[in-house]
A and B are shown apart, each in its own frame.
Chain A
Amino acid sequence: MNLTKKTLTELSELFRSGEVSSREITDAFITEIEEKDSKINAFVTPTFDIAREMADASDARKKNNELLSPLDGMPIALKDVVCTTECRTTACSNILKNFQSPYDATVWKKLKSAGAVLLGKTNTDEFTMGASTQTSAFGVTRNPHDLERVAGGSSGGSAAAIAANFCAGAIGTETNGSIRHPSHFCGVTGLKVSYGRVSRWGTMPMASSLDVVGPIAKTAEDCALMLQEIAGHDEKDSTTPDVEVPNYIAEIQHSIRDMKIGIPRNFFEKGIDENMAQVIAAAEAQLRDMGAKIIDIELPHAEHAVAAYYIIAPGEISSNQARYDGIRFGECSKEKDDLAKIYTETRSEGFGDEVKRRILIGTFVLSSGYSDQYYRQAQRVRTLIKQDFDNAWENVDAILSPVSPTPAFKVGENLDDPLKMYLEDMFLAPSCLAGQCGISFPGGQTDSGLPIGVQIICPPMKEACALRIAHQMQKHQT
């Protein structure tokens, strides 16, 4: 039995029924990582010894009938911006290359309380800034489907780890596509939760009004299992509303017959190639076949989302990154006698190009004389984008759209053209700015076999609806 190819749901059932131990599952993944990750680079810090200990503890709980949750004994990976006391948390930046967090992020605390087993920390663009995992200080993550290509980003390590059968589930973060984009490139399922659905406490921030934490796994059902354990209010994160967490596994079992699915054709049709268009058409046909009603909708301001995002996010980045000054944590420059020099030299040596670029853009759009012209106008456009969604929700339950304009591109591409890289997010930015939730899952492939994802976007706090549509479609496909 090849355990590593099984879904999280299947592994959980095998473990609970006593057919395999958590240690066997964990060892199977470790063997896979040891054999193959030197070529893929999904993990930046493996924690195999800790994983074996945690697996043994799960096996002991199983023996005593004390299992904590369906995730008990399941080996998972965390994007390396989620703080863990077990090992360093680096944000894949030189400025934090040896940072040891004194506490666990809420998301990890919850997963640990559910009995999950930590296999290690996964690669990301530096401080999650990128759409290809190429800006990581620890090297690019390669796409398991084609090693010449990128895994997407910024949660490229987590998505590649799922695609390469290195773990049963993974945690990613998304500010503007960073869960859905690599899921599309790697042919896996990734859920961008609504803003506020999952606590970010202890997860390193990029742009605080947009950042979310969410699951990446093989299927929507797997994502539902993970979300069940991590969703909910956290008094340590004041942006998490006290909204009831539904029973996701129960909710996703319902048929999607008569659901109304909107398609914003005018928004994406000109921006995608033939392969992508075919996959969207196939998804549309499948939804019709399953009894859903397709309705054409307009999102008239969505085309402005990338520009608005790249004003708002860098503004927030430039202030968030101010905390890295070489004093309280992280690396410090050799210069230790002059405070002003400590700040500038630590930051200049510690940050990579993309982080510097975004700090500079943020400083520019917030500087006096420009903030009204750029920053405040972007926030007004953000309102219009959100209103577009509010209007759409009066007529439809969910929206079908491509994830990004192309399938996985080659390693090295787009690196010298930041603006082109930013446009990777064009179908992802509107839902992020408006705080909606969305799921990216495999919809087909190119003629050469590269995965192509599709996404379903749903209103805030309606993850159950997005997961349900994706799960029913995945069930229908098999």
Chain B
Amino acid sequence: MTSKISPDDVKHLAQLAKLKLSAEEATKFAPQLRDIVHFFEALKKVDTKNVVETSQTTGLENITREDAISRCKCEKSLIACSPHPVKKNQISIPNVL
């Protein structure tokens, strides 16, 4: 898929990401993604033997806080953010299964 990202590949990626693309969108994105991924190829030439990966830059690790229970004063306004009906102070959505 790397060198030739087709509109079908784009649609497959979209499906994995819970996006629905029209045929026009898939056709538009395919060459753009192809160019971008082609641009990534330059990284393959960089010698990274024995180089560790960096996923963050602060060096902080395992930052924890006390496991204390506190009352949320904004539960009503949090629930009000949902576009779905509220029943018994809970968000009501269609059946999952």
Residue ranges of A at the interface with B (Cβ–Cβ < 8 Å): 99-100, 102-103, 195-196, 209, 235, 238-239, 241, 301, 304, 306-308, 310-311, 318, 322, 325-332, 336-339, 342-345, 347-348, 351, 353, 356-357, 359-365, 367, 370, 373-374, 376-384, 386, 418-419, 422, 433-435, 460
The one of A307, A364, A377, A381 in contact with B33, judged by C-beta atoms closer than 8 angstroms, is: A364
- Beta-carbon contact of A332 and B20 below 8 Å: no
Query: Which chain B residues in 34-63 approach chain A with CB under 8 Å?
Result: 35-37, 39-40, 42-44, 46, 48, 51-58, 60, 63
Shortest beta-carbon contacts, A-B, top 8: A435-B57, A102-B77, A379-B53, A380-B48, A238-B63, A332-B83, A329-B81, A382-B54
- Beta-carbon contact of A239 and B56 below 8 Å: yes
Q: How many pairs, one residue from A and one from B, have CB atoms within 8 Å of each other in the complex?
A: 168
Taken together as a complex, chains A and B put the C-alpha atoms of A311 and B42 apart, in Å, by 12
B residues near A422, Cβ cutoff 8 Å: 36, 39
A residues near B37, Cβ cutoff 8 Å: 361, 364
- Beta-carbon contact of A342 and B94 below 8 Å: yes
The one of A337, A376, A419 in contact with B39, judged by C-beta atoms closer than 8 angstroms, is: A419
Taken together as a complex, chains A and B put the C-alpha atoms of A433 and B53 apart, in Å, by 12
- Beta-carbon contact of A238 and B54 below 8 Å: no
- Beta-carbon contact of B82 and A327 below 8 Å: yes
Classify chain B's interface size.
Answer: 35 or more
| B19 on the A face (CB < 8 A) | yes
| B18 on the A face (CB < 8 A) | yes
- Beta-carbon contact of B53 and A380 below 8 Å: yes
- Beta-carbon contact of B20 and A377 below 8 Å: no
- Beta-carbon contact of B21 and A348 below 8 Å: yes
| B78 on the A face (CB < 8 A) | yes
Min CB gap A412→B, angstroms: 17
B residues near A336, Cβ cutoff 8 Å: 84, 94
Q: Beyond A326-B83, A348-B21, is A356–B74 a contact (Cβ under 8 Å)?
A: no
- Beta-carbon contact of B83 and A330 below 8 Å: yes
Q: Beyond A328-B81, A345-B20, A378-B43, is A364–B13 a contact (Cβ under 8 Å)?
A: yes
Q: Beyond A241-B60, A347-B19, A361-B36, is A235–B82 a contact (Cβ under 8 Å)?
A: no
B residues near A357, Cβ cutoff 8 Å: 29, 32-33
B residues near A382, Cβ cutoff 8 Å: 53-54
Chain B: which residue is nearest A308 at the CB level? B43
Min CB gap A202→B, angstroms: 12
Chain A: which residue is nearest B10 at the CB level? A360
| B65 on the A face (CB < 8 A) | yes
Chain A: which residue is nearest B11 at the CB level? A360
A residues near B21, Cβ cutoff 8 Å: 348, 356
| B69 on the A face (CB < 8 A) | no
